Structures are given as structure tokens and as C-alpha cells.
Copies of this chain bind each other. A is one copy, B any other.
């Protein structure tokens, strides 16, 4: 039974998130519906991981098993005709039957966009966190470095999360700037629930002068969620790439 891997882009604004739930439209639900439309099959679409409501993806990965005779590379075109405009399959290919989008992922890359200007921008609004007060970019850039490495990131995990291990390895984390747009990119072998958004919320507190760059280290050591910054809002976050 062919195993199809999809690479997916979406704007998360109008969805409750990746995962199907009792109420509301989900990305998973929309794609499973499109697959049913073209193959007649009810599949279980497995993603690399969930994304929250409002979070976007440039390269989410998911897989499903099918008996359909549609050539694997044609799935993307067929599915796109059945999907809403805010979801797009950019790649479809056959993978070995034991490929599992979640278990086989060895790393992920996220991007977070901050628009730092006293006045909001209507063109960017769905894709950035608008921070109207001045931010010390240099200090934020310095702070991001302290995230890199293998650490217990409990302090940067939404409370009430339940995972076996809270240790993750961040291989890269850096800021860059284009006019009023601050880009944060982070790469690692895995991320705890809300981890990127809490790191961003903490970097913003550094940018405001509420925290020093090196405080990131102390917060990591403390394993105390209350010492980290608030969870930055979802619309600035993009799942950029999943590594296998």
C-alpha cells in the first residue's frame, strides 16, 4: 500500500490548528476531506506535529497510506483543486512504507516575525506580532544565543504539558532585521509545547529591558515557567521546515 508524503503550506488564521477536533475547521480535516474527494478513501493523515490555531506553515510534512492509483507526484495538483486557498500541497511523493511523519522527524525549523513600529501594518498583520514600543534589537540578538545547546527547557514549556523528557537540543537560534521587521529563526531536534512562542516572548522582554540577555541561561536553569516571558501570539509563527 503506497505511503504518500505531503509537504504543505498554510495560513493558519482561519483554522483551529493542524489537528482535527470536535468543533471548528482544522488543516488536517481539510486535507483528509480533499484526499477522500479524490480517492474515496478515509485516511489518517499523520503530521510531523501539531500547529496551534493561527500558526502558519511553509513546510509542514504529513503522510498517509492509500490504495489509489494516482501517481504520487500528481497528488499535489489533484489535492490543490479540492483545498481552500489558504492551504497548498507543494510536494507529494511516495516514501518507504515505514516512513512516519512524526516519529521519523529528526528536527524542525521555525521562523517568527515581529513588526516593530509604533504604527501597525495592515499588509503584514496576519503574519507578524506587532510590537509598537521600541525594542533593543542588539540585546535580543545576544539573548537568542543563550538558547542554543542541549538544555532542559521546562521553563519554556506551556504549563500542564505532559511529556516524557523536557530536554531538547537547539542547534541554531538567531535574529535578523529588515527595516522594522525582526526575523527570529530557530532550529532544533524538537520543541516543547509553545516553546518557540515563549522564547520569543522572553526575547521581547529582553528587548524591552525587563530582562538581560544572559537571563535566558538563568531561566533555563530555573526550570520555572513563571520566570520566562509571556507566550508570543500565534500569528507571527511559521513552521518552516521538518528534517528527516
Q: A residues engaging B (CB < 8 A)? A: 9-11, 56, 58, 76, 80, 85-90, 119-123, 125, 127
Could you tell me if A85 and B120 are in contact, using CB atoms closer than 8 angstroms?
Answer: yes
Could you tell me if B119 and A86 are in contact, using CB atoms closer than 8 angstroms?
Answer: no
Copies in the complex: 2
Chain B residues contacting A122 (CB-CB under 8 Å) are 9-11, 85-88
Could you tell me if B123 and A9 are in contact, using CB atoms closer than 8 angstroms?
Answer: yes
Bound CA–CA A11/B85 (angstroms): 17
Could you tell me if A85 and B125 are in contact, using CB atoms closer than 8 angstroms?
Answer: yes
Bound CA–CA A76/B58 (angstroms): 34
Bound CA–CA A197/B203 (angstroms): 43
Bound CA–CA A56/B122 (angstroms): 10
Bound CA–CA A80/B89 (angstroms): 37
Chain B residues contacting A90 (CB-CB under 8 Å) are 119
Chain B residues contacting A87 (CB-CB under 8 Å) are 122
Could you tell me if B125 and A76 are in contact, using CB atoms closer than 8 angstroms?
Answer: no
Could you tell me if B120 and A88 are in contact, using CB atoms closer than 8 angstroms?
Answer: yes
Chain B residues contacting A127 (CB-CB under 8 Å) are 123
Chain B residues contacting A120 (CB-CB under 8 Å) are 80, 85, 88
Bound CA–CA A123/B56 (angstroms): 8
Chain B residues contacting A123 (CB-CB under 8 Å) are 9, 11, 56, 58, 127
Contact of A88 among B76, B86, B121 (CB under 8 A): B121
A89 CB, nearest partner CB in chain B, Å: 7
Query: Chain B residue with minimal CB distance to A127?
Result: B123
Contact of A121 among B9, B76, B121, B125 (CB under 8 A): B9
A109 CB, nearest partner CB in chain B, Å: 16
A196 CB, nearest partner CB in chain B, Å: 18
A186 CB, nearest partner CB in chain B, Å: 19
Chain B residues contacting A119 (CB-CB under 8 Å) are 76, 80, 88-90
Chain B residues contacting A89 (CB-CB under 8 Å) are 119
A165 CB, nearest partner CB in chain B, Å: 33
